């Protein structure tokens, strides 16, 4: 986990090798933990999801998801962007082998409501 200051607002970047997200219970546990960490941008490794399965990552507090996958349930990376992050994708390169996704972006943080 890393913190950075963008435009006067603190942001939280998380990188995590999840070793597969095919099971709904594990996906729920990962999302619950990411919310506890107050993650703004998340970089997931080894998602092991097929292209058709990446829709399972949508929902919750992460509204933009970019991913690269392989043609079997191995490899795979995903970048999750929290709904409080104003994200403008300028360019994306997705590796056909499911090893990386490169994103050129413009990030702006909105204030988070803390209760």
State the binding site for Mg(2+): 17, 46
d(C-alpha 108, C-alpha 95), whole Å: 26
Instruction: Please report the beta strands in the chain, taking only residues with DSSP state E, as ranges in sequence order.
Output: 2-6, 9-17, 41-45, 62-68, 77-82, 85-94, 101-109
Decide: 13 and 4 in contact? Cβ < 8 Å.
yes
Known binding-site residue numbers: 17, 46
Decide: 57 and 67 in contact? Cβ < 8 Å.
yes
């Amino acid at each position: 986990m890393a913190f950075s200051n963008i435009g006067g607002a603190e942001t939280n970047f998380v990188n995590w090798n999840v070793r597969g997200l095919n099971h709904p219970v594990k996906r729920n546990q990962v999302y619950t933990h990411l919310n506890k960490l107050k993650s703004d941008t998340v970089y997931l490794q080894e998602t092991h999801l097929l292209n058709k399965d990446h829709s399972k990552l949508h929902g919750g507090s992460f509204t933009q998801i970019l991913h690269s996958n392989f043609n079997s349930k191995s490899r795979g990376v995903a970048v999750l962007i929290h709904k409080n992050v104003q994200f403008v994708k300028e360019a994306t390169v997705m590796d056909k082998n499911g090893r990386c996704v490169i994103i050129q972006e413009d990030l702006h943080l909105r204030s988070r409501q803390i209760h």
